[in-house]
Amino acid sequence: MKLKNIVILFLFFAVDFSVHSQEIKWATKLIEYSKKFQQENNYADMVLGSANVYPDTNLYSEIDPYAEGYILNFQNIEKKNKVVVGFNKPIEAEQLIIGGIFNSGSIQNVNLILGDGTTKKNIFTFNGKSSVVKFYDFHVFFQVTTIIGVEIEISHRYINKWNILKGVGLTKYNEAFDILPYEANLNGYDLKKVLIDENIKGGECFLFNPKITPDGNTLYLVKQCPSNGNDQDIWVSSRDDLGRWGELKNIGRPLNNKAANFVASVGHTGDFLLVGGKYDKNGNFAADGASKTYKDENGVWKVPEPIEIPNYVNNNEFTNFFLSYDENYIIYSAEDDRSVGDLDLYVTMYNQETKKWSESIHLGNQVNTSFLEDYPYLANDGKTLFFSSKGHIGYGGLDVYMTRRLDDTWQNWSQPLNMGTMVNTKTDDKGFILSDMLDFAYLNSASFDKDRNFDVYKISLPNRFLDIEMKDLVKTSNVRALPKFELKSDW
């Protein structure tokens, strides 16, 4: 029997009502692709996994570093190019979603690879008569079928533009919908995001990893400037009695050396710091990891002493650490053989009897994805974790998410919630921390900087923010039904 195929495209003016969240199975295997179009920092496997960005495509360009996905920019408009993806096991579905697509009129054919692994079924062929240049998700509907893979052919003959492919999914849900971030519902709260202070602006430099002392009067951050060879040093500022922040000053040795230096955590008493990297006795970089430093009787920081985490491995050039309020846990980002992909989050625990740290525990796949998770911050309740990720559905670049630990295994977490557009932007938003009084959050963003330099922002928080139940924060759905526009074709 011939499958009845209908292609449903949608307009930008979506109907604002919710539908029940449907399970979407995202492609996990890259089977074939046009190799000549793979470029540096643009790998074909970026098409795998969930459609993890919900972008304003009108603002995107092919060179935008926040245009996450497999970017295709073909020069030969006569040639068709292919991307073939697969799934871990056969999926029964009646809808195909190509998420995060840009300039979808370049899609010429879409074939399903059926459950036997060899039979192909065409479900879409471009008729050359009409097209939609820009929209978010590409939906194709068909009779319920068992599928093991999807083959997509693209040509720029009709739409001579570039494309982003991010996420090829299958579902049994039979309505078109936006794939929205699974978001914390903070619209009822008066959140305001502003620069921390006019004195704390990076200009040509990047400012990131802000840390605040418990009394709220000392700010540590990393400053990175092109004029200084992009070295990363720790800088510090103090706040006066009128609440104004003073000029940033380099904290100097022994905390700064030729490595990338940063404050990972400020002790709950304010008299010690957890810093990135291990130091030798002269204050020089010795190894990857973290160290702890105290002030001496003259108020001068001592050479940091290393934290020993058994079998600590990080195969990534980046990392971050966070020491919990009670000093019993360090959550850190690293990439090792347990990682789902890129940086993942781990926890190590301090044994008060042995005075040693435990081997680390991977936080599990509810938190960690096949893309980057970083900048962990565990609130003083010991359960609410904030982190930045590129793997969960968001608004572009790194977004800030929150989740709560459900038991003592450290692998059972609530569904991470995107902190929403009052916190997150289409650029990277990271380094989210809370003040001790819970009246403000601080983070890095390029929200108001036309040159996209990262500055430090503060966000006013609702009263008793950590007491809000997760069930009261989550929106009822992370999909949104859409009006339908049928594109007729000959197949």
Indicate the domain borders of the chain.
Answer: 6-181+479-487, 193-473
Q: Using CA atoms, how far apart are residues 343 and 317, in angstroms rounded to an integer?
A: 10
Contact, 357 vs 292, CB < 8 A? no
In this prediction, what percent of the chain has a pLDDT beyond 90?
46
Residues constituting the chain: 491
Contact, 152 vs 83, CB < 8 A? yes
pLDDT-wise least confident of 151-160, 445-454, 482-491: 482-491
pLDDT tier, 134 (very low <50, low <70, confident <90, very high otherwise): very low
CA dihedral 409, 414, 419, 425 (to 10 degrees): 80
Q: What are phi and psi of 44, to 5 degrees?
A: -60, -30
Q: Please report the pLDDT score of residue 294 as a whole number.
A: 94
pTM: 0.81
Element (H, E) at 473: helix 470-473
Q: What are phi and psi of 308, to 5 degrees?
A: -100, 105
Q: How far is CA 323 from CA 91, 142, 273, in A?
A: 42, 51, 9
Q: Using CA atoms, how far apart are residues 303 and 149, in angstroms rounded to an integer?
A: 56
Q: What are phi and psi of 228, to 5 degrees?
A: -110, 30
Instruction: With a cut of 90, say whether residue 253 has pLDDT above it.
Output: yes
- What confidence tens digit (pLDDT) does each residue in 206-233 have? 888 999 998 889 999 999 888 777 689 9
Q: What is the CATH number of domain 193-473?
A: 2.115.10.20
Q: Using CA atoms, how far apart are residues 97 and 139, in angstroms rounded to an integer?
A: 5
Q: Using CA atoms, how far apart are residues 43 and 213, in angstroms rounded to an integer?
A: 41
Instruction: With a cut of 70, say whether residue 39 has pLDDT above it.
Output: no
Q: Please report the pLDDT score of residue 489 as a whole number.
A: 32
Query: Up-side HSE of residue 136: CA atoms within 13 Å toward CB?
Result: 20
User: Top-level CATH class of 6-181+479-487?
Assistant: mainly beta
Q: Please report the pLDDT score of residue 199 as a whole number.
A: 84
Contact, 96 vs 113, CB < 8 A? no
Q: How far apart are the first and last CA of the chain?
A: 14
The token pair at 430 is: 């990271």
Which residues face 125 on adjacent strands?
A: 109
Q: Please report the pLDDT score of residue 461 as a whole number.
A: 85
Instruction: With a cut of 60, say whether residue 61 has pLDDT above it.
Output: no
Q: Please report the pLDDT score of residue 138 as a whole number.
A: 79
Inter-residue long-range contacts of 225-231, CB under 8 Å, 24+ positions, other chains counted: 231/258, 231/260
Contact, 404 vs 34, CB < 8 A? no
